[in-house]
Structure 1
């Protein structure tokens, strides 16, 4: 009896220690935790508090930050100029969109670089001079070079290769995906953990690319990342889109929706909306149709909206009958953020509910690049 009693006491004590270690927040319901966390500044929520535990990650990502969108605006001043990087948050409220921007310091031993992708708290960057890849943690401010690629990439310039950064929530690791346009199309993947520890044993792993991507006549862009997992490359002048599930590490080809026939005059752009790939088709000078890929595995597209471009909007941001370039969407799915196809000093929002296009009250430089954050939908 005494032995059994001692075991029960030790078990109860271990439970109390575990409960104290995890904190009193584990005893609170999600709605009460949400009310407490909402009192914190948005940057603290996004880059620090969100990664405390799985429960906080899901509350902040799926509930509190539901009406947010985040952009990094980057200006490279060249070899003798200074790199300027600022973070812009867009938040939806009853009065529309509110904007907040701040300059952030990316001071690394690797000198200036160009941001290629942004997933969770990590930036994937290329060295401005030698084209080497490295990753930078926005929370810890730690950077690390990646091992050299094995595929031809033309120093990772646009058109020569596609680069992306994803998060595998099942294994809790990040994956750098590098695609060389070939021909033939080739792919390699590099995996790293949160500690950014690389050694001589780390190597890029080659993945079989798609066999056929149509008659590609122009170039590839960096992929549109969805849910921090699915990559989509626009293969120009083709009725197919090249996609990849970075968790399963498999390619597939997806036929574009709404095309009775394909020609080089088709104008379309891709953007992530509400955690899904969305494509905007210009059917006429006045109409842009919006389609969403609701099921990646079964390739099911759903037609959502038709955006009417009025004469006033067309004259201001729609020059030469070109398609406005979508940058991102607020996570509620109500607002799409556009940039003018030519050099311009502003961003525009389109309200899918009220069908109104407005210029945002923020000034951007003509050569300022927009890098959109992709957040993983789960945390392990």
Structure 2
């Protein structure tokens, strides 16, 4: 009997016995077993066994299980590689930074190809990338290889390096992915809903008149957004009183107040990070003190001071292996372990081995590591997933595998 006949007979046998075999074991048992298998084998081999396994591997319950078991949160460390950061459309290279929990150490692994576009943001294992040639925005899953190229923006923006801001988010109510893009607030914000929109939609910017802007419109550039819980977007502007926010569930722009400090807040003295699913404001008060404020209620704009790390906590700690550095020479780049660990980096001297610090807010332990920081280095929180698609409609609300 030829090989093709054997394959066809096995396929027919599986189809005939599929409904009878699978019910013998509860579905949660299958999920538990399959969640231990490396993702590339799940996608390329196990999902092809039969229709039932294909549906199971792409189901909401299975994706949540495998994300919890296999996909540890990390930070994409993206930097420009060619030819330099001074051209409009550079190429990038990226690594994934994760914590070694046993040793409170870091490990770096390659993320994506050696040459790729500029990574803007990450959401549910998907990354938003500006591709240099042609100048387009696309959504990628580096684990599954899925790619979706978005249509050109009505504003005509070419998405060059440091010339616009863009972010990818997920609406947990409608189960939709949205891309928000801003080139000039005079033109407005552009929003594209994947799987629903055929074109970008435009909404007015946060300022009606030029005098309302806290910055010089000729010199200010909107940067990439800080995204909390996948759907609340925040942009830092040149204001010592507020920043601009948008919840993509209602697509309304609003001003969110900064913490009330005794002195004026300078943009260069603070960063935004996510701690326990909330926006956190990390302020470098002095060379020996950082303050952490948390936006505990976004709707009511309630912000609370939750932690102070200062010189007084280091009294009698000379025996520590890693002493506290000068906080004014550091900036906070991200958090790990659901916000328990703050990741800090020195103000960069491009091309040199600079220091990366991990600070555990519970144990007050700080560790220092060396890392080569290059031009245009960015740190983007990321967790891998098996979200994949064949067409844009696969990412529509009716497609179950995006509901993470």
TM-score normalised by the shorter chain: which range applies?
Answer: 0.7 to 0.9
Q: Where in structure 2 are the equivalents of 1:245-284 lying within 5 Å?
A: 245-262=247-264, 264=266, 267-284=269-286
Contact 1:118 1:371 in 2 (8 A): no
Write the deviation string for residues 213-263 of structure 1: whole angstroms up to 9, x where unpaired. 651244432111111111110112331010111122121111011324525
Look up the match of 1:4.
none
Contact 2:168 2:179 in 1 (8 A): yes
Is 1:359 the counterpart of 2:368? The answer is yes
**Distance in structure 2 (CA, Å) of the matches to 1:202 and 1:22:** 41
**Distance in structure 1 (CA, Å) of the matches to 2:359 and 2:132:** 35
Look up the match of 1:177.
180
Is 1:163 the counterpart of 2:163? The answer is no
Look up the match of 2:105.
97
SS in 2 for 1:147: coil
SS in 1 for 2:337: coil
Look up the match of 1:128.
132
Q: Where in structure 2 are the equivalents of 1:51-70 lying within 5 Å?
A: 52-61=58-67, 63-64=68-69, 68-70=73-75
Look up the match of 2:5.
none
| 140 and 66 in structure 1: CA distance in 2 versus 1, 3 angstrom threshold | closer
SS in 1 for 2:338: coil
Look up the match of 1:26.
27
**Distance in structure 2 (CA, Å) of the matches to 1:270 and 1:374:** 16
Give how far 1:280 is off.
Answer: 0.6
Q: Where in structure 2 are the equivalents of 1:189-204 lying within 5 Å?
A: 189-193=191-195, 202-204=198-200
**Distance in structure 2 (CA, Å) of the matches to 1:190 and 1:132:** 13
Q: Calculate the aligned-residue CA RMSD, in Å.
A: 4.0
Look up the match of 1:71.
76
Look up the match of 1:206.
202
Is 1:331 the counterpart of 2:333? The answer is no
Give how far 1:163 is off.
Answer: 0.7
For normalisation by structure 1, the TM-score amounts to 0.74
Give how far 1:39 is off.
Answer: 4.4
Give how far 1:126 is off.
Answer: 1.6
SS in 2 for 1:332: helix
Look up the match of 2:325.
314
Look up the match of 2:9.
none
Contact 1:119 1:376 in 2 (8 A): no
**Distance in structure 2 (CA, Å) of the matches to 1:22 and 1:373:** 39
Report how many aligned residue pairs link the two structures.
Answer: 342
SS in 2 for 1:222: coil
Look up the match of 2:377.
369
Is 1:230 the counterpart of 2:232? The answer is yes
**Distance in structure 2 (CA, Å) of the matches to 1:216 and 1:167:** 30
Look up the match of 1:379.
403
Q: Select the residue among 130, 149, 159 that pairs with 2:153.
A: 149
Look up the match of 1:298.
300
**Distance in structure 1 (CA, Å) of the matches to 2:39 and 2:356:** 21
**Distance in structure 1 (CA, Å) of the matches to 2:39 and 2:147:** 24
Look up the match of 2:347.
341
Write the deviation string for residues 290-309 of structure 1: whole angstroms up to 9, x where unpaired. 01112222222222211226
Write the deviation string for residues 74-133 of structure 1: whole angstroms up to 9, x where unpaired. 4331289995634324135243234241353277xxxx5212122223222223255332
Unaligned runs of 5+ in 1: 1-15
Unaligned runs of 5+ in 2: 1-16, 48-55, 315-321, 386-401
Give how far 1:27 is off.
Answer: 4.0
**Distance in structure 2 (CA, Å) of the matches to 1:43 and 1:273:** 31
- Name which of structure 1's ranges 65-74 and 296-305 shifts more when overlaid on structure 2: 65-74
Give how far 1:373 is off.
Answer: 3.5
Give how far 1:139 is off.
Answer: 3.4
Higher relative contact order (CA 8 A, sep 6+): 2
Give how far 1:356 is off.
Answer: 3.2
| 83 and 219 in structure 1: CA distance in 2 versus 1, 3 angstrom threshold | closer
For normalisation by structure 2, the TM-score amounts to 0.70
